[in-house]
């Protein structure tokens, strides 16, 4: 009997050591995954440091205080700006090495299942329809009011310059009219956006809510999105560009070439299993699986000139040649999936300038955007003569110049703000 009890104790101790060892291994994997995420490069192309605050300085009517400050701390200010610009460019080039991370180290997903609050915004959850989603937290009414004031004041400035203004609300992945969250889970993205749009409209800002346009056109909103990512697909970019163009022509009398956005005049290029998005980044591939990345490309002749200063790009070519990185997409397809959305327009760049060489009579457009604007822009520029894109988010595009100075120098026909939801950056 004593021998049996001793044997049971040994087996119990061995089992405990095994479980403890597995648990510690998963913890190490989680820590290493975080390290990998912060070290991996998003693109094979290196970024260069561009200080847009010097190219587009903030206008000032009284520079006396600035001169005093520059005398006492100019060298420290320049060093700080240089360091922050470099950090910003490094940050925008980061990505997840999905193959390495997901197939080897994503066993840490099961730690999240056991230890994490399922409803926190940093944790991806599987919707009832099989799509993966990152829930959003509730924004305070004070924060939303602050955003509304910021963009209503910006709208007043833009229209005072004789330029049209439009605030566009893109859809979030979780449909406002078809909530696919499991019972007990909550998301506040749509309610946050509803409150913001109500505030903006109350202040006289013209808004286009693409969520309602999707519903009014009886479109399955989830079909517009990647299953493993929060962003929308190429077909959604074409649809959104067409919807925006028609709205601007009707509302402002602009001359977007809407015929060029007829879906019947586009063909599909597909990269098998090239996409594994950020909504499923911590979920093992055997659970989520990569998906195809498709590009709708015009079947007619196109000619554009694109400039991306921080990538040292100034090139002329067709839609297919300039707007998507086909080499990276081929590589992602071969390796079994990666963040293919980041190949559109080289990801979140501070400034992108595109001229449509086949449409001299279209409008000149400026978009203040986040990553949702990346997939729309290649199609919108097909319908206009010139498209400028600014990403003012410090943690992403990091355009640190003066938006107002940029407007003064480029003189657009319309300024569009298209953000999934605003951030705290000021508009200078």
Using 50, 70 and 90 to split pLDDT, how confident is the model at 53? confident
Question: How much is the average pLDDT of 342-370?
Answer: 96
Question: How much is the average pLDDT of 125-143?
Answer: 91
Using 50, 70 and 90 to split pLDDT, how confident is the model at 105? very low
Residue 81 scores a pLDDT above 80 = no
pTM, two decimals, is: 0.79
Q: Is residue 100 within 8 Å of residue 41, measured between CB atoms?
A: no
- For tokens 């405990």, name the residue: 16
Helix and strand numbers, DSSP H then E, in the chain: 14, 12
Residue 106 scores a pLDDT above 50 = no
DSSP states of 27-86 as a string? HHHHHHHHHHHHH-BS-SSPP----HHHHSPPP-S--HHHHHHHHHHHHHHHHHHHHHHH
What is the per-residue pLDDT across 336-345, written as a single tens digit (0 to 9) for each? 889 999 999 9
Q: Give the pLDDT of residue 48.
A: 80
Question: How much is the average pLDDT of 412-422?
Answer: 95
Helix-helix angle 141-160:189-202, to 10 degrees: 40
Q: In 3D, which of 106, 27, 36, 93 has the Cα closest to residue 290? A: 106
Q: Give the pLDDT of residue 183.
A: 85
Q: Give the pLDDT of residue 94.
A: 40
Residue 3 scores a pLDDT above 70 = no
Neighbours of 152 (CB within 10 A): 18
What is the per-residue pLDDT across 113-122, written as a single tens digit (0 to 9) for each? 444 444 444 5
Report the C-alpha gap between 30 and 13 in whole angstroms: 26
Tell me how long the chain is. Answer: 428
Residues 6+ apart with CB under 8 A from 408: 59, 161
Mean of the per-residue pLDDT values for the chain? 83
Dihedral angle over CA of 253, 257, 262, 267, nearest 10:
-150
Least confident of 29-33, 143-147, 265-269, 288-292: 29-33
- For tokens 């939303």, name the residue: 144
The span from the first CA to the last CA of the chain, in angstroms, equals: 82
Using 50, 70 and 90 to split pLDDT, how confident is the model at 50? confident
Tokens of 224: 């517009």
Q: Give the pLDDT of residue 44.
A: 47
**% of the chain with per-residue pLDDT over 70:** 76
- For tokens 């963040």, name the residue: 339
Q: Is residue 326 within 8 Å of residue 374, measured between CB atoms?
A: no
Residue 108 scores a pLDDT above 80 = no
Q: Give the pLDDT of residue 426.
A: 83
- For tokens 């998906």, name the residue: 291
Using 50, 70 and 90 to split pLDDT, how confident is the model at 127? very high
What is the per-residue pLDDT across 201-243, written as a single tens digit (0 to 9) for each? 999 999 999 999 999 999 999 999 999 999 999 999 999 999 9
């Amino acid at each position: 009997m004593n021998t049996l009890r001793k044997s049971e104790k040994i087996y119990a101790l061995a089992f405990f050591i095994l479980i403890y060892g597995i648990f510690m291994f998963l913890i190490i994997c989680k820590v290493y995954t975080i390290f990998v995420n912060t070290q991996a490069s998003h693109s094979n192309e290196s970024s260069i440091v561009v200080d847009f605050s010097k190219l587009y300085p903030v206008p000032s009517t009284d520079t006396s205080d600035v001169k005093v400050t520059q005398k006492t701390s100019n060298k420290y200010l320049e060093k700080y700006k240089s360091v922050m610009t470099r950090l910003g460019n490094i940050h925008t080039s980061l990505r997840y090495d999905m193959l390495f991370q997901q197939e080897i180290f994503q066993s840490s997903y099961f730690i999240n299942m056991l230890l994490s609050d399922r409803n926190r915004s940093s944790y991806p959850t599987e919707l009832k329809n099989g799509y993966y989603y990152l829930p959003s937290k509730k924004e305070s009414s004070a924060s939303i009011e602050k955003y509304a004031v910021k963009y209503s004041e910006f709208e007043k400035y833009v229209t005072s310059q004789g330029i049209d203004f439009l605030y566009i609300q893109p859809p979030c992945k979780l449909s406002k009219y078809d909530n696919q969250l499991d019972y007990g889970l909550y998301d506040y993205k749509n309610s946050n956006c509803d409150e913001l749009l109500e505030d903006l409209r109350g202040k006289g800002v013209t808004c286009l809510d693409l969520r309602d346009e999707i519903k009014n056109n009886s479109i399955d909103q989830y079909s517009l999105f990647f299953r493993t990512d929060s962003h929308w697909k190429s077909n959604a970019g074409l649809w959104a560009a067409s919807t925006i163009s028609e709205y601007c022509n009707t509302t402002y009398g602009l001359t977007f070439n809407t015929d060029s956005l007829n879906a019947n005049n586009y063909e599909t290029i597909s990269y098998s299993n090239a996409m594994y998005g950020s909504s499923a980044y911590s979920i093992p591939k055997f659970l989520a699986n990569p998906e195809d990345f498709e590009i709708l490309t015009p079947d007619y002749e196109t000619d554009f000139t694109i400039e991306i200063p921080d990538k040292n790009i100034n090139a002329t070519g067709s839609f297919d040649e300039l707007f998507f990185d086909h080499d990276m997409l081929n590589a992602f397809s071969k390796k079994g999936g990666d963040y293919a959305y980041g190949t559109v327009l080289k990801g979140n760049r501070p400034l992108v300038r595109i001229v449509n060489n086949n449409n001299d009579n279209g409008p000149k457009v400026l978009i203040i955007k986040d990553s949702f604007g990346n997939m729309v822009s290649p199609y919108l520029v097909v319908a206009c003569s010139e498209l400028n894109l600014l990403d003012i988010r410090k943690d992403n595009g990091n355009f640190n110049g003066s938006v107002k100075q940029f407007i003064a120098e480029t003189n657009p026909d319309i300024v569009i703000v298209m953000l999934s939801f605003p951030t705290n950056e000021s508009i200078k």
